[in-house]
Structure 1
Amino acid sequence: MKAYLRTRYGGPEVLHLGRVAKPTVKKGHLLVKTAANSANPADWHILRGTPVLARLAFGLITPKNKLLGADFAGTVEEVGEDAGQFQVGERVFGEDLKGGTFAEYAVVPATACAQMPEGSSFATMASMPVAGLTALQALITHGKLQSGESVLINGASGGVGHLAVQIAKAYGARVTGVCSEKNRDFVLSLGADAVIAYDEENIHGHPGKHDLVLDTHGNLFYRDFTRMGKRGVVIGFTNMKHLAVLMLRGALGKFPMTQFTAAANSPDLETLASLVEEGKISVHLEKTYSYRDIPKAIAYIEAMRTRGKVAMVWEEG
């Protein structure tokens, strides 16, 4: 089968389209014929082997797994033993941060998959797992957001941020989004009640107070969280030093703040699918690439100027 391979760490240029054996399904897993993928910051971090500490999991000198890719949507080709109620031919979406989904076929844990909503496209649902799970778990699992509360979302126009705005509104929150002035109308169209344009107002001096501050961009300081919020959740980071200082201050202080990596699980994916089916959230696809241009897609999002998501399609549907 066709798959994207890499034998060393580096930028998108180290990826090449090659051929490997079609994987064999195993216990608790599904064999999925891939229809679409999406690109995430995790892909370029894993591709480049950054931060370096991450290489303890992915390989110190060279990558343990030659195949990249987390997000996917496709059709179940084969169901492994003890893989739940999935059926051959079902359209599913999910993620596997261990890699291997930038390929024609992928073997993925059934516990990290869910059925696609009726009428949804492969490209949009492939763009949902990493970003959607991160947004949902940041707001609800870790942020404990309640109906009627207010939330500030820093990075509201990006992959995670644009879904976080919609999810927060679906759960009854008042949302203030932080983005550039050029993305103001986009973020308002997602349902945000107010927008702070960081290129017109210094977010590090914003006097507003919110129940929850959610930072997807990773440039807020500890003093920003304590000034603007009652509790905080950190997702992105600009560099390891910034994150380390932020979390150390959080550990030593009394302000309730959490940093996490989203955990893939079927119940949360099913929640996202229900929100899509009910018309409460949708993926904004800024660009859609052919699978042949997966390296270009990763390079595009690495510039960190993406509005919404970028998808890569193996087949239409």
Structure 2
Amino acid sequence: MKAFTKTKYGGPDVLRLEEVEKPSLKEGHLLVKVYANSANPADWHILRGKPFFARFSFGLFNPKDKILGADFAGVVEAVGKNVSGFKVGDRVFGETLQGGAFAEYVLAPAAVCGHMPAGTGFDVMAAVPIAGVTALQAIVTHGKLRKGESVLVNGSSGGVGHFAVQIAKAYGAEVTAVCSNRNIDFVTSLGADKVLAYDRENIHQHIGNYDLIIDTNGNLTFNDYKRLGKRGVMVGFTTIGHMISVLLKRAFSKFPLAQFTAEANTKDLNTLASLIQEGKIQPHIFKTYPYQDIPQAIGYIECMRTKGKVVMVWVGEI
């Protein structure tokens, strides 16, 4: 099968499209024929081996896992032992942070896969896993959003942010979104009740009173969280130093601020699928690449100017 491989850390140019062996089926896993992928910041962080401490998981000097890629959507080709709820021919989507998705076939634990809703395309559902699960867990699992509460979403036009706005609205929140002036119309179309343009108003001086602060951009200070909200969830971070500063201050405060790494599971993926089926959320595909251009897609999102998601499709099948 074709797959994008890496043998060293670096930029997208270190990726090579090669013929490799199809993964062997394992207990508890699904073998999925990949129809589409999406690109995430996690992909280029893993590709570059940055931040450095991540190499303790992905390989200290060279990558442990040869094939890059997390998000995928496709069709189940084989089902491993002790797997229930999936069968050959099912249309599924999911993520595997250990890599392997930027290939014609991916072997993924059944526990990180969900069923695609009827009538949706592979390109659409490939855009969902990491970003959608992160947004859902930030708002529901860690943010503990209740109907009628007010939410501030910082970084509302990106992959996670555009899902966060829609999910918060679906759960009955009043949403104030922070984005650039050029993305105001886009974020408004997602359902945001109010929009703050950070290039018109300094978010670090903004005066507000929100029940929940969701920071997908990662530039809010600990004082920003305390000034603006009753509780917060830190999703992204701009630098390791900034993250450590925020978490150290949290350690000496009673302010409820959660910080987490999202982990996909079938329940949350199926929740997202239901929200899409009901028309309550819609993944926004900003740009689509053929699979041959996966390195270019990763390079594009590394510039961090994307509205919604960047998707890559295999052999034109979506």
In the superposition, the TM-score normalised over structure 1's length comes to 0.99
Matches within 5 A, 1:167-316: 167-314=167-314, 315-316=316-317
Q: Whole-Å Cα distance in 1 between the matches of residues 138 and 167 of structure 2?
A: 10
Q: Which amino acid aligns with 1:144?
A: K
Give the alignment's Cα RMSD to 1 decimal: 0.5
After TM superposition, give the deviation of residue 252 of structure 1 in Å.
1.0
Deviation digits for residues 185-219 of structure 1, max 9, x if unmatched?
11011000000000000000000110000000000
What does residue 8 of structure 2 align with? 8
Matches within 5 A, 1:143-154: 143-154=143-154
Q: Does 1:65 align with 2:49?
A: no
What does residue 118 of structure 1 align with? 118
Q: Which amino acid aligns with 2:132?
A: G
What does residue 54 of structure 1 align with? 54
Deviation digits for residues 219-266 of structure 1, max 9, x if unmatched?
000010000000010011111000001111011111100111101100
Q: Whole-Å Cα distance in 2 between the matches of residues 156 and 85 of structure 1?
A: 34
Q: Which amino acid aligns with 1:114?
A: G
Q: Which amino acid aligns with 1:316?
A: E
Q: Whole-Å Cα distance in 2 between the matches of residues 209 and 99 of structure 1?
A: 40
After TM superposition, give the deviation of residue 316 of structure 1 in Å.
1.9
Q: Which amino acid aligns with 2:274?
A: S
What does residue 138 of structure 2 align with? 138
Deviation digits for residues 31-84 of structure 1, max 9, x if unmatched?
000000000000000000011001000000000001000000000000000111
Q: Which amino acid aligns with 2:72?
A: F
DSSP 3-state at the match of 2:42: helix
Q: Which amino acid aligns with 1:85?
A: G
Report % sequence identity: 64
Q: Which amino acid aligns with 1:156?
A: S
Deviation digits for residues 138-188 of structure 1, max 9, x if unmatched?
000000000000000000000000010000000000000000011001101
What does residue 107 of structure 1 align with? 107
DSSP 3-state at the match of 2:204: helix
Q: Which runs of no fewer than 5 residues in structure 1 stay unpaired? A: none
Q: Whole-Å Cα distance in 1 between the matches of residues 21 and 240 of structure 2?
A: 37
Q: Which amino acid aligns with 1:214?
A: I
Q: Does 1:41 align with 2:34?
A: no
Q: Whole-Å Cα distance in 2 between the matches of residues 158 and 58 of structure 1?
A: 25
What does residue 92 of structure 1 align with? 92
Q: Whole-Å Cα distance in 2 between the matches of residues 142 and 251 of structure 1?
A: 17
What does residue 18 of structure 1 align with? 18
Q: Whole-Å Cα distance in 2 between the matches of residues 209 and 18 of structure 1?
A: 53
Tell me the matched-pair count: 317
Q: Whole-Å Cα distance in 1 between the matches of residues 91 and 127 of structure 2?
A: 14
Q: Which amino acid aligns with 1:177?
A: A
DSSP 3-state at the match of 1:203: coil
Q: Which runs of no fewer than 5 residues in structure 2 stay unpaired? A: none
After TM superposition, give the deviation of residue 28 of structure 1 in Å.
0.2
Q: Whole-Å Cα distance in 1 between the matches of residues 33 and 272 of structure 2?
A: 22
What does residue 159 of structure 1 align with? 159
